[in-house]
Amino acid sequence: DAGVIQSPRHEVTEMGQEVTLRCKPISGHDYLFWYRQTMMRGLELLIYFNNNVPIDDSGMPEDRFSAKMPNASFSTLKIQPSEPRDSAVYFCASSLAGTNNEQFFGPGTRLTVL
Amino acid sequence: LAKTTQPISMDSYEGQEVNITCSHNNIATNDYITWYQQFPSQGPRFIIQGYKTKVTNEVASLFIPADRKSSTLSLPRVSLSDTAVYYCLVGDRDSGTYKYIFGTGTRLKVLA
C-alpha cells in the first residue's frame, strides 16, 4: 500500500481565497483524522471520521473550516475564506479501527496564506 | 478533559539511554498510551503502545505506573538518527465523545 496520500504537498494562497486539502486514507482503514500542526499550538486534532461519518469536530477552529468524507477512500478539508493565521502543516491520518489503534500519517500539506 | 505534559526539549549524547516522560492526569479507562516520533517535514510515526507496566519492542520500552497518570518512553543507546520530536497520545471519554489528545511534544537532540 502507498500509505496515506495527501495533496497538494504545498499550497500558497492569498487571504480570502478558498483552500481545499485532499486525503486518501489507507485502503481498509475505518478511521480518518485531520490534524493541524503549528509551532505555537503543536499538533491539534481538528476532526475525525469513522466509516465516513464525522465523530468529533470539536477541534475545528471556526465555521470557515469544513471537512467531508464522501466515501471510504477520499476526504477533503476546506478553508473558506482563508486567513494568514491558518498557515500551518495539515496532516491526514488513518487507522484500521479507533481507540488503541496505530494511526498512519500522511506527509502533510504545508499551507501558507499571505 | 485529559491534559498531557511533556518536557519541551532534551539533549543527549550518542550511546546514552534517554527517558522521556509524559504526564496525563485524566486518561480514559481501558485505553492505551501511545508514543509517536516525528522527523522534520514528515508526519508522526508510531513507536510503541502500552496499557500498564512495561512494554518493549525493537526500538523502545514504555513504562507505565499502576496509576497510569504518566508514562515514560525509554530509548536505549540513542544515535544521531533518533533526533526528532516525540509525542505521547492518550484518549479522553469524559465528554461522551472519544477524544484523541496529543502531548506537547519533546524535542530530542542527540549529540555526537
- Count of CB atoms situated within 10 Å of the CB of B107: 15
A42, A58, A104 ranked by CB distance to B102: nearest? A42
The pLDDT assigned to A1 comes to 66
pLDDT tens digits, B8-62:
999 999 999 999 999 988 777 778 999 999 999 999 999 999 998 899 999 999 9
**Residues A111, B3, B6, CA angle at the centre, nearest 5°?**
75
pLDDT tens digits, A79-101:
999 999 999 999 999 999 887 88
The pLDDT assigned to B31 comes to 85
Contact between B56 and B69 under an 8 Å Cβ cutoff? The reply is: no
CB contact under 8 A, A45 and B34: no
CA distances from B90 to A100, B49, B102 (A): 9, 10, 7
B1 confidence band (pLDDT: 50, 70, 90) = low
How many Å lie between the alpha carbon of B93 and the closest alpha carbon of chain A? 11
- Using the Cβ of B35 and the Cβ atoms of chain A, whether some distance falls under 8 Å is answered with no
CB contact under 8 A, A100 and B32: yes
Q: Which three cell numbers stand for residue B21?
A: 516522560
